[in-house]
Amino acid sequence: MNDPPDSVTAWRGRIDPEPDSLRWHQVVRPLAAADAPGVALLGFCCDEGVRRNLGRTGAAAGPAAIRRALAGLAWHRDGPAFDAGDVACADGDLDAAQLRLAAGVAALLDAGHLPVVLGGGHELAFGSWQGLARHLAGRGTQAPRIGIVNLDAHFDLRDPAHAHSSGTPFAQIAEACATRGWPFRYACLGVSRAANTRALYRRAAELDVLVREDRDITPSGIAAIGAELDAFVTACDHVHLSIDLDVLPACEAPGVSAPAARGVPLALLEPLVERVRDSGRLRLAELAELNPEFDIDNRSARVAARLIHLLTLDG
């Protein structure tokens, strides 16, 4: 991991005179100052996978934009929060960058932190998962049941034999699980049928993926989907939560690689995030695909910051 961004530039904002009025920028400290486990933010400054997947690049600047949006939000946690800096991919070597991310995530987990990875393209998911797998293997865990909950318009199950990209991370994880003899448990909620081929739907069926499309996640159907999510999480030992911001409607998240024509509104995503947060099994979370270059009024960054605020509430 690189050194955390300078606190003066990355974490700044208004300071209110009233008592008990802290904001994130007043509380977040560099990881080197950690004296107790907490939330640890780790950036993945990479869009090489998006480029390979023929998406619009720019997500490498996502972590900085998320930090700026998060800095001014009100602080409601009891536990601490730390900035673990960034992992970058400046040379196009995606596999090496993912391994560096894995090392960072594993180190944070070993120290008792909840890693929250800031993206960056969705290729970050394979690096994050490798870090969780390394942590669990190091503790002697045999065939852990890691449940991946992906809120996303896309399966990202494309064949990695052609090229590793932002469209292949969960297929790569499935292959890694098979190699290790671990079960592969994957739920993808918010899928757009228009954005995923029949081959990807077949692949999801072969892997027994829990699939719910964007059109299924409605006010009248959210309770039933929440119950399905609860059952999925309960059957797992550990949960890896992955949020691709392109699951949201383009009006709520315009700054992504592939804006959604329909999407799932934030108001319906939040109850699902809360269920995962409150399950007691959340070990790792990530937000992917923020592209500040196309972000109108910082809408996508603000949504990402709100989701981090929500999933890290502890009181």
> pLDDT tens for residues 86-127?
999 999 999 999 999 999 999 999 999 999 999 999 999 999
Specify the number of domains making up the chain. 1
pLDDT at 71: 97
Calpha distance 203→168 (Å, rounded): 12
- Within 8 A by CB and 6+ apart from 175, the residues are 160
Q: Which residues in the chain belong to E strands, given as ranges?
A: 29-30, 39-45, 81-88, 114-119, 146-151, 185-191, 210-213, 238-244, 282-288
In a domain, 38, yes or no: yes
pLDDT value of residue 5:
45
- Summarised one tens digit per residue, pLDDT across range 198-241 is 999 999 999 999 999 999 999 999 999 999 999 999 999 999 99
- Whichever domain contains 27, its CATH number is 3.40.800.10
Q: Is residue 283 part of a domain?
A: yes
Please give the pLDDT value at position 6: 45
Residue 2: inside a domain: no
Domain membership of residue 290 (yes or no) is yes
46 domain residue, yes or no = yes
pLDDT band at 10 (very low <50, low <70, confident <90, very high): confident
Given this model, what pLDDT does residue 314 score?
A: 86
Contact predicate 273/179, CB 8 Å: no
Mean local confidence (pLDDT), 131-138: 96
2 has pLDDT over 60: no
Give the pLDDT score at 182.
97
Residues 156-168 pLDDT 10s: 999 998 889 899 9
- 222-234 and 266-277 helices, crossing angle to 10°: 30
Q: What is the pLDDT of residue 54?
A: 85
Per-residue pLDDT band for 8 (boundaries 50, 70, 90) equals very low
- List, in order, residues 6 or more apart from 169 with CB less than 8 Å away: 49, 122, 123, 124, 125, 126, 129, 156
Residue 1 falls inside a structural domain: no
Tell me, yes or no, whether 146 lies in a domain: yes
Task: Tell me which residue range forms the domain holding 45.
Answer: 7-14+23-311
Give the mean model confidence (pLDDT) for residues 45-62: 92
In a domain, 94, yes or no: yes
